[in-house]
Amino acid sequence: MSGTENKPEETTLPVHETPRGNVLVVAEQILGELQPVTIELLGAATLLAGKLGTRVLCVVMGYNLGDIPQKLVQYGADQVFVADDESLENYRTLPYRRVLIDMLDSLPEPPHVCLLGSTTTGRDLAPRIAAHFETGLTADCTELDIGPYEHKSKVDPTKLGLYPDCLYAIRPSFGESLKARILGPWKNPQMATTRPGVMIPLKLDLNRPGEIFKIPVNLKQPDYRLQVERVVREVSKGLKLTEADVIVAGGYGLGTVDGFTILKDLADCFENSAVGASRKVVDLGWIKYEHQVGQTGKTVRPKLYIACGISGAIQHRVGMSKSGTIIAINKDPDAPIFKFAHHGIVGDVYHVVPELIKAFKKQSKSEKQGVETVVHSH
């Protein structure tokens, strides 16, 4: 921003002094397991509340929450609002929506900012709350800040003027290679969801003081229109993408679903590895959704990322560009992925990947022999 160029006579604009409210984080837990994005959000909320000079509130909904409320305090919440009720055991839009709306209505003033994770839950719930309160919501943010904004558009003259403490919700604008700063200063709470794995959590502090309140759960008949019959957590499928040290990912350039067989073989050569995929191949049904990297809020940052036959659309790039080492294999030397990979191999995945596997099998064999030799010398 080139704020220094502002001419002094423009300061006649009205200043919209809004009271500085608190920063609310909507916590997320699945069957009693606190989700990492909540801890990250508490870190971001602490920074924002620090700039506003206000406090961090957190609301958590679920059943048999145990020590989760205390943990939320230890990770930065000044006040925790707890709805612990059997009807909240599994996430369902309408009951969670009801409790959150009632909680917000019970506050003496709306929070300045309200944050949720860009998860399947946060992206389900946040738009309902924003539409109910008719307030602004920005999805999948990668940065958050507080700062001033001068509204000069005369479309709505009542909005003209200076807004001193806006939430800056910053997100990649897909397809346009842009980062957009999105504001909604007219009304609180100013809402945003943030991508998991982006915000920096505070260190756990067992002595951090905080208050914990129970809040009522008063569901109405229409809130029961949808029931959860069962939840299946997929634990057997190996490592989650977000936790893997190495990701071997495939794209449309593989040409066929069978390409994932050799990618799996390559992934198996590494410790803590997982197989990833571009959206396009998930669209085609070549591989399941949980392998998809980018676009739907999933950001991965493994130490090593091997992209095979992936062209490198902006959505994919935003999802994985923070990886340690990025190696791309693609037949097309002009593929966009070579603009942000660290090492680019121009070649056929079906030739290069088997050669890599061969090299690694040899390596692990020779290392094993090395170990045996040492054992024998004893």
- Minimum Å gap between C-beta 115 and another protein is 15
Phi, psi of 127 (to 5 degrees): -65, -30
**Between residues 212 and 239, which has the closer beta carbon with respect to another protein?**
239
For residue 289, the one-letter residue type is Y
Which 3 state secondary structure label does DSSP give 102?
A: helix
* Per-position x/- string for 92-111, each x denoting binding to another protein as judged by CB under 8 A, each - no binding: xxx-----------------
Region for residue 295 given its phi and psi (left: phi exceeds 0; alpha: psi -120 to 50; beta: otherwise): left
Q: What are phi and psi for residue 270, nearest 5 degrees?
A: -105, 155
Q: Which of residues 342-361 bind another protein (CB under 8 A)?
A: 342-348, 351-352, 355-356, 359-360
Token pair belonging to 108: 């003496």
> Which amino acid is present at 366?
S
In 3-state terms, what secondary structure has residue 87? helix
83: helix, strand or coil: strand
* Least distance in angstroms from the C-beta of 329 to another protein: 9
Chain positions 291 to 310 lying near another protein, rule: CB under 8 A, are 292, 295-296, 303-304
**C-alpha of 304 from chain center:** 20
Is the CB of 214 or the CB of 240 nearer to another protein?
Answer: 240
What span, in angstroms and rounded, lies between the C-alpha atoms of 259 and 277?
11
Paired tokens of 319 = 């999802």
Q: Which of 206, 226, 374, 375 touches another protein (CB under 8 A)?
A: 226
Binding segment toward another protein, per CB under 8 A, in 5-13, 56-64, 197-205, 336-344: 336-344
Give the shortest CB-54-to-another protein separation in angstroms: 21
Q: Given candidates 18, 70, 87, 90, which one binds another protein under the rule CB under 8 A?
A: 90
Site for another protein in 182-201 (CB under 8 A): 182-184, 186-187
Site for another protein in 248-287 (CB under 8 A): 268-273, 279, 282-283, 285
Q: Which of 56, 126, 275, 308 binds another protein (CB under 8 A)?
A: 126
Residues 151-180 that bind another protein (CB under 8 A): 151, 153, 155-156, 168, 172-180
- Tell me how far, at minimum, the Cβ of 223 lies from another protein, in Å: 9
Tell me the DSSP string of 239-268: --GGG-SEEEEE-GGG-STTHHHHHHHHHH
Beta bridge partners of 30: 33
Span of 66-74, 207-215, 239-247, 256-264 interacting with another protein by CB under 8 A: 239-247
Residue 365 interacting with another protein (CB under 8 A): no
Q: How far apart are CA 114 and CA 112, in angstroms?
A: 7
Size of interface with another protein, in residues (CB under 8 A): 112
Question: Which of 46, 54, 119, 194 touches another protein (CB under 8 A)?
Answer: 119
374 is an interface residue for another protein by CB under 8 A:
no
Instruction: Using CB under 8 A, pick the residue from 66, 132, 204, 216 that binds another protein.
Output: 132
Tell whether omega for the bond before 189 is within 30 degrees of 0, i.e. cis. Answer: yes
Cβ neighbour number for residue 331 with a 10 Å cutoff? 16
Residues 6+ apart with CB under 8 A from 141: 118, 169, 170, 171, 192, 193, 194, 195, 198
Q: Cα-flanking dihedrals φ and ψ of residue 214, to 5°?
A: -85, 140
38 is an interface residue for another protein by CB under 8 A: no
Q: Of the listed pieces 18-26, 55-63, 115-123, 254-262, which binds another protein according to CB under 8 A?
A: 115-123
Q: What type of residue sits at position 350?
A: Y
Scanning residues 49 to 88, which ones bind another protein (CB under 8 A)?
none
Q: Is 325 in the site for another protein (CB under 8 A)?
A: yes
Among 43-51, 52-60, 70-78, 132-140, the segment contacting another protein (CB under 8 A): 132-140
